[in-house]
Chains A and B, each alone.
Chain A
Amino acid sequence: MNHSRYVARSTAIAARALGDETMVMSATDSTLFTLDEVASVIWDAADGVTPLDEIVANKICTQYDIAPEIALKDAEALVENLAEHGILRLSDQPLAQSSSSRREG
């Protein structure tokens, strides 16, 4: 059965765009990821409320010459990989972005 999946950027990360790329660092293990142009589009759109298939259809397939089913398969592999490292959250339900508390040091 095909169902929508939702993706949200983790709050336990630091991220910044540099040209077409996005650099993301995990706050839990300091691992650094560099997202290429297409992955950056998905990253930017990962707001927790837009389904992944909708992101792929509206943001990827309209801009890049790629078959929708291949694009979705690639996108799912990407978000699962990033979720394994804790920098994206994945769910079958819409996700709310959480906040973190302030501290000194």
Chain B
Amino acid sequence: MPSVTAVAQSSGVVVEIGGLPIRLRCDSPDFLRQIKERYDGYVGSSNDADFDFEIELAPPGSVSHDEDVRVTWDSERWLMKRGDFRAEWNPSAARGRIQQTSNPYSLDSVLRIVHTLLLAREGGFLLHASSAIRNGRAFLFSGVSGAGKTTMARLAPPDAALLTDEISYVTRRDGRYSAVGTPFFGELARVGENLQAPIEALYLLAKGPKNKIEPIVGADAVRGLLGNILFFARDPEFVKLVFDSAFDFVRHIPVRRLTFVPDTSVWELIV
């Protein structure tokens, strides 16, 4: 008769972000427990999954943290590696393998990469941006580190549902762009609410002496967006997909410069 531990190993944990369920299997019940805690709110209630990943834990100290992330296509699978993980994923077989230490941050990085690759096929992307839903519509606040993404999330009023303070998940389904909650957080260290809503506007952040909104159009809008999209794969077809998605996005969604004073008054403009 199988033990409780054996049942946990065979079923794994299904983490569902953006409606894409991914099953994570691992021999270590402790690590599976860490995964459940880390992705609380995004752990699927069903055991069904679109993709399966087997995680092999390496001993601590057996990895280097200096190596940059590298994502390449090798005939039928994506290869992903950084100092702290090695992973491969065959989309056709719906299976992958991850070698890492028991640091959940490594798994977080692999999941981000997998989701960027999945989203690219449907015209979506991950964006360096905080995002929130207010009055049934999603607002994205994008910028480089220090631009104010987490500040905007911290200042959000009680009626705003925070989707993320760091990495926004943008989907294009049925011809509409939506923002989806993610467990990917930044300084706020808070998992976003697992909700989604149509995107109303993308704001490119700048701090200034007073609150101000200005439209950004054409090449400036595309540049502003592309500068904040997460690109992992150094792959011509992937880059072309995301590049085209950026042009399509700015055709459909208003892009604006939001210059703001870091206090709650800025949210009076976000309606």
Contact = CB atoms under 8 A, between A and B. Distances in A.
Q: Do A and B bind each other?
A: yes
B233 to A, nearest CB: 8
Interface residues of A, number: 22
The 4 closest A-B pairs by CB, nearest first: A14-B243, A105-B117, A27-B236, A27-B239
B31 interface: no
A18 B219 contact: yes
Contacts of A105: 73, 78, 91, 117-118, 120-121, 233, 238
A16 B73 contact: no
Interface string B207-248: 000000000001100110011000101111111101110010
Contacts of A30: 231, 234, 239
Given A12-B236, A105-B73, A25 B226 contact: yes
A60 to B, nearest CB: 22
B62 interface: no
A32 B242 CA distance: 13
Nearest to A14: B243
A19 to B, nearest CB: 7
A100 interface: yes
B92 interface: yes
Interface in B88-136: 91-92, 117-118, 120-121
Interface of A: 11-14, 16, 18-19, 21, 23, 25-30, 32, 34, 100, 102-105
B199 to A, nearest CB: 21
B237 A32 contact: no
Contacts of B76: 103
B237 A25 contact: no
> In the complex, which of the residues A11, A13, A14 has the most CB atoms of chain B within 10 Å of its own CB atom?
A14
B270 to A, nearest CB: 28
B219 A34 contact: yes
Interface of B: 73, 76, 78, 91-92, 117-118, 120-121, 218-219, 222-223, 226-227, 231, 233-240, 242-244, 247
A47 to B, nearest CB: 19
B234 A29 contact: yes
Nearest to A105: B117
Contacts of B121: 104-105
Main secondary structure of the interface of B (DSSP, over half): helix
A22 B154 CA distance: 38
A23 B219 contact: yes
A32 B227 contact: yes
B63 to A, nearest CB: 25
A103 B73 contact: yes
A10 to B, nearest CB: 9
A19 B219 contact: yes
> In the complex, which of the residues A19, A26, A34, A104 has the most CB atoms of chain B within 10 Å of its own CB atom?
A104
Given A14-B243, A27-B236, A27-B239, 11 more contacts: A12-B236, A14-B236, A14-B239, A14-B240, A14-B242, A14-B244, A34-B219, A103-B76, A104-B92, A105-B120, A105-B121
Nearest to A22: B219
Contacts of B231: 30
A21 B219 contact: yes
12 contacts: A11-B236, A14-B244, A18-B218, A19-B218, A23-B222, A30-B234, A30-B239, A32-B227, A100-B236, A103-B76, A103-B235, A105-B121
Contacts of A102: 237
B91 A104 contact: yes
Given A14-B239, A18-B219, A18-B222, A27 B234 contact: yes
